[in-house]
Amino acid sequence: MRDLRDRVICIVGASSGIGRATALACAQAGMNVAVAARRIDLLESLAREIESHGRVALPVACDVQFDADVSALIERCLEHFGRLDAVLANSGYGHQGCVVDLTDESLRRIFEVNFFGTVRVAREAVRAFRASGRGHLMITSSCLSRFTLPYFGAYSATKAAQTQVARSLRLELQREGIDVSVIHPITTMTEFHDASADVSGIRRRGVPRHAPRLFVQPPERVARAIVRCLRRPRAEVWTSHITRLVAGAMVAFPRFHDFCLRKELALQAAYLDVESISGKAEVAAEGAAG
């Protein structure tokens, strides 16, 4: 068990949802926190909450689509705190629709934010960790990195890419004293779903009605799991053991995957109003969720 008091974590994608909840949970655990995202007003409000717990906070405007932003973020963390113990790459957004109906621009954008944005954060974080000889890189992926839902093909592809990179990095960096963990949330009650609806051109808002309550969680549940992983690093963090078992079965038995999701196909098509959403991906949203 690692003592987290006075350690420093940088959370990228901290303005809402899982990132915001994790920043507060880390502060309550005694950590000092750098919070980064595009919406600086929300970060400044979050920083004040962190400081109310007696910890030091650093809000930094950052867009993971730009190398310079990510590089400057890590530099500011080191300058402000004098150390960097952990980084959570949490920026991302969702898009729903049949992959072949999406434009090249929309597909490139979701990979640019979700995948390449994660790689940018990882690259700069590892550079800092190598200089100090220690560190913990955490990547927010999704349970949909293991299986996919109908019309979530593009999103699931980015999450699968994140997961495979994290697994590879864990083996490649462990001899350098650097831990790597990947987080697999299930459906989480955040603004992620509204942002995904906006991107996808969907009229409905809120957590999808067809999502069973058993597989819906508050962001604080994910935050607590992340703090536990910071204390005792492990390769993967799942917030639903049932989902983990089902995901494994779906990977092992593709026909089981199709059987489980046959009804989901009709529900998703009705929820999305498929004919009205093809190719509508214009806005990137922060905060990943399952």
What is d(CA 208, CA 185) in angstroms, rounded to the nearest whole number?
A: 16
pTM here?
A: 0.82
Q: Residue 85: which of 149, 140, 118, 129 has the closest Cα?
A: 129
For residue 216, how many other CB atoms are within 10 A of its CB? 15
pLDDT at 121 over 70: yes
Identify the pLDDT of residue 145: 86
For residue 82, how many other CB atoms are within 10 A of its CB? 8
Residue from 93, 151, 155, 271 carrying the catalytic annotation: 155
Q: Pairing state of beta strands 86-89 and 187-188?
A: unpaired
Domains and CATH numbers, the chain: 8-276 (3.40.50.720)
Instruction: Please give the distance of CA 86 from its chain centroid, rounded to a whole number.
Output: 15
- Tell me the per-residue pLDDT of 43-76, one tens digit each, with 9 for 90 and over: 999 999 999 999 999 999 999 999 999 999 999 9
Q: Which residues contact 181 (CB under 8 A, 6 or more apart)?
A: 136, 137, 138, 139, 166, 170, 229, 233, 234, 235, 236, 237
- Tell me the per-residue pLDDT of 161-203, one tens digit each, with 9 for 90 and over: 999 999 999 999 999 999 999 999 987 665 454 555 455 555 5
Is 271 considered catalytic here?
no
